[in-house]
């Protein structure tokens, strides 16, 4: 890390002030270690302590979420909302329900969200929230009571001009419905734009469900076009089998990609004939089952228990499950097997060592804050539709998403070239996102 610009000192301060939050430290480091050139060009950013201010959330809320399970037993979870930066618009970012959630996870995600949202060019600030609640194996009634309890506290911190949550791991349209119902009841207001990812039957946007996965593949398409290539005929693997993975697979297949593997936290499905996406959707979206069951319905598919998806040779790999799922050794295996294109559908799925391997191999690597920004961008389109009491067609909304992803790719590509690292989307995304936030912070004074 360049120490002359004070970046190393800022990083050490973040580590000291936020002890034990390894993922947050990692996310901060990955961003600020690329900002040296932009600080050199704009001395005002350092004078006004822009980075130091961005690294400190504007507000952090932690609260008790008590609820009763189906047996009548009282359960206690912890709820979080970290409102990181509102200089470009109301706080915006998802809620994650997963047993691994603690403050460090929410802060890493909220920090990433600031730059991702800035990259979309839309008027949205950065935030993240969630709970250590584990929805696996819980009935609809239990999930509903949990969501109602969480929103009973959270509602006072939200509002269409204040903070607008959406989904993330473990939070989809079902949870957003329960959360919205309780918000409406607590406030006596039908404030559609207070949550995004709603069902299109009652205020949600078409394409929001598909947006993160589709957007990631549009980003891949742009990276390949910049190299004179296309997705057509390429062999692809996608980790995860949740919202992002499913719609990444769908768009890859539409564009002629051959997707042969996907996974969940228990294991990997390898199906050389091509993943049967209708079956994955039924297992995961409707029946909420495990990916292992795929192999019971397709005898020619292999189920590999454990999580070695990156050992499978491919041209394109999309990590779409969770943070730090693709480490340095896996990156070496991928590159060694001939993989030349990676895009992060998940947030921070590649470890710093993995990113280094991809950069040294000079392959096309799209970092999450650029490649998966289609989800939050379409959330902003949902807010636009709600504000104008309008609903757009699938085709129109998808066209908007594609244009936004092309714009993000162009901005990252141009920023990387401007700052002397052509083709380095990590540097390009960080600098392009940071510059937009920094300029707005300068304009608004010391806040
Ligand atoms: P889902 O809950 O729909 O799916 C998550 C998938 O990832 C599941 O297959 C899950 O497997 C797997 N997974 C989750 N945690 C782990 C883990 N610790 N180890 C291994 N596998 C795991 O979530 P999404 O698809 O919405 O989110 C996936 C990623 O995309 C996350 O990083 C999220 O932050 C990011 N993202 C999501 C956006 C959205 O709009 N939803 C937008 C931008 C980024 P299992 O069922 O076994 O837990
Ligand atoms: O990580 C993300 O960008 C999301 N989970 C989506 C956030 C949103 O507000 O749509």
Closest C-alpha residue for ligand 2 atom 10: 376
Distance in Å, CA 95 to ligand 2 centroid: 8
3-state secondary structure of 259: strand
Per the DSSP assignment, residues forming a β-bridge with 65 are 77
Check pocket membership of 379 for ligand 2, CB cut-off 6 A: yes
CA 413 – CA 320 distance, rounded (Å):
22
Q: What is the pLDDT of residue 1?
A: 52
- Reduced to 3 DSSP states, what percent helix, strand and coil does the chain have, rounded to the nearest 5? 50, 15, 35
Distance in Å, CA 401 to ligand 2 centroid: 14
The residue to mutate among 212, 213, 404, having the most atoms of ligand 2 within 8 angstroms of its beta carbon, is 212
Q: Which is it for the CA torsion 359, 9, 429, 325, positive or negative?
A: positive
Distance in Å, CA 111 to ligand 2 centroid: 12
Active-site residue, selected from the candidate residues 107, 128, 198, 369: 128
CATH fold label, 209-371: Rossmann fold (3.40.50)
Q: Determine the length of the chain.
A: 447
What is the CATH code of the structural domain delimited by 59-190?
3.40.50.10860
Distance in Å, CA 212 to ligand 2 centroid: 8
Check pocket membership of 77 for ligand 1, CB cut-off 6 A: no
Nearest ligand to the C-alpha atom of residue 196:
2
| Domain boundaries of the chain, sorted by first residue | 4-54, 59-190, 209-371
CA 378 – CA 53 distance, rounded (Å):
28
Check pocket membership of 347 for ligand 2, CB cut-off 6 A: yes
Distance in Å, CA 167 to ligand 2 centroid: 6
Check pocket membership of 213 for ligand 2, CB cut-off 6 A: no
The residue to mutate among 375, 386, 404, 429, having the most atoms of ligand 2 within 8 angstroms of its beta carbon, is 375
Is the pLDDT reported for residue 381 higher than 70?
yes
- Give per-residue pLDDT as tens, 383-418: 999 999 999 999 999 999 999 999 999 999 999 999
**Nearest-10 crossing angle of helices 22-32, 103-120:** 30
Distance in Å, CA 250 to ligand 1 centroid: 16
Burial of 136 (0-12, 13-18, 19+ CB in 10 A): exposed
Is the pLDDT reported for residue 127 higher than 80?
yes
Check pocket membership of 170 for ligand 1, CB cut-off 6 A: yes
- Give per-residue pLDDT as tens, 413-436: 999 999 999 999 999 999 999 999
Check pocket membership of 426 for ligand 1, CB cut-off 6 A: no
* pLDDT mean across residues, the chain: 97
Query: Which among 328, 322, 324, 335 has a CA at the least distance from the CA of 354?
Result: 328
The residue to mutate among 172, 240, 376, having the most atoms of ligand 2 within 8 angstroms of its beta carbon, is 376
CA of 347, closest atom in ligand 2? 1
Is the pLDDT reported for residue 214 higher than 90?
yes
Q: What is the pLDDT of residue 300?
A: 97
Closest C-alpha residue for ligand 2 atom 3: 376
Query: Which among 214, 400, 167 has a CA at the least distance from the CA of 392?
Result: 400
- When pLDDT is averaged across residues 362-381 and rounded to a whole number, the result is 98
Q: What is the pLDDT of residue 5?
A: 59
Is the pLDDT reported for residue 3 higher than 70?
no
Distance in Å, CA 439 to ligand 2 centroid: 23
CA 374 – CA 320 distance, rounded (Å):
13
CA 12 – CA 7 distance, rounded (Å):
9
- When pLDDT is averaged across residues 55-78 and rounded to a whole number, the result is 98
CA of 368, closest atom in ligand 1? 44
Give the pLDDT band (50/70/90) at residue 150: very high
Active site residue 128: yes
Give the pLDDT band (50/70/90) at residue 307: confident
Burial of 16 (0-12, 13-18, 19+ CB in 10 A): exposed
pTM over 0.95: yes
């Amino acid at each position: 890390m360049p120490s002359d610009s004070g970046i190393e000192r800022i990083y050490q301060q973040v580590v000291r002030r936020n002890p034990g939050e390894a993922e947050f430290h990692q996310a901060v480091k990955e961003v600020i270690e690329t900002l040296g050139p932009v600080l050199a060009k704009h001395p005002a950013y350092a004078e006004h302590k822009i980075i130091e201010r961005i690294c400190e959330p504007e507000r952090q809320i932690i609260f008790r979420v008590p609820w009763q399970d189906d047996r009548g037993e009282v359960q206690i979870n912890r709820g979080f909302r970290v409102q990181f930066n509102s200089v470009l618009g109301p706080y915006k970012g998802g809620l994650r329900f997963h047993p691994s959630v603690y403050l460090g996870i929410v802060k890493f995600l909220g920090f990433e969200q600031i730059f991702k949202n800035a990259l979309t060019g839309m008027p949205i600030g950065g935030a993240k929230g969630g709970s250590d609640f584990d929805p696996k194996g819980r009935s609809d009634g239990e999930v509903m009571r949990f969501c109602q309890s969480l929103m009973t506290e959270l509602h006072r911190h939200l509002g269409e001009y204040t903070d607008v949550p959406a989904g993330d791991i473990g939070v989809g349209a079902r949870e957003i419905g329960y959360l919205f119902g309780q918000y409406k009841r607590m406030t006596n207001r039908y404030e559609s734009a207070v949550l995004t990812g709603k069902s299109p039957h009652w205020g949600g946007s078409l394409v929001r469900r598909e947006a993160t996965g589709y957007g990631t593949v549009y980003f891949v398409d742009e990276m390949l076009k910049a190299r004179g290539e296309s997705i057509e005929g390429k062999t692809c693997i996608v980790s995860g089998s949740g919202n992002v993975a499913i719609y990444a697979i769908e768009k890859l297949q539409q564009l002629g990609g051959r997707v042969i593997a996907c996974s969940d936290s228990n294991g990997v499905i390898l199906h050389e004939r091509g993943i049967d996406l209708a079956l994955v959707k039924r297992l995961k979206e409707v029946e909420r089952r495990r990916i292992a069951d795929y192999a019971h319905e397709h005898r020619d598919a292999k189920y590999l228990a454990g999580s070695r998806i990156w050992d499978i040779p491919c041209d394109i790999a999309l990590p779409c499950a969770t943070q730090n799922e693709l480490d340095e050794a896996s990156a070496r295996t991928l590159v060694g097997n001939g993989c030349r294109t990676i895009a992060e559908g998940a947030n921070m799925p590649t470890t710093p060592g993995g990113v280094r391997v991809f950069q040294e191999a000079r392959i096309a690597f799209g970092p999450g804050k650029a490649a998966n920004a289609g989800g939050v961008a379409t959330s902003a389109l949902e807010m636009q539709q709600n504000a104008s009491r309008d609903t757009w067609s699938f085709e129109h909304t998808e066209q908007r998403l594609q244009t936004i992803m092309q714009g993000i790719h162009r901005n990252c590509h141009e920023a990387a070239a401007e700052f002397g690292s052509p083709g380095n989307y990590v540097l390009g995304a960080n600098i392009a996102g940071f510059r937009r936030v920094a300029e707005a912070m300068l304009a608004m004074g010391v806040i």
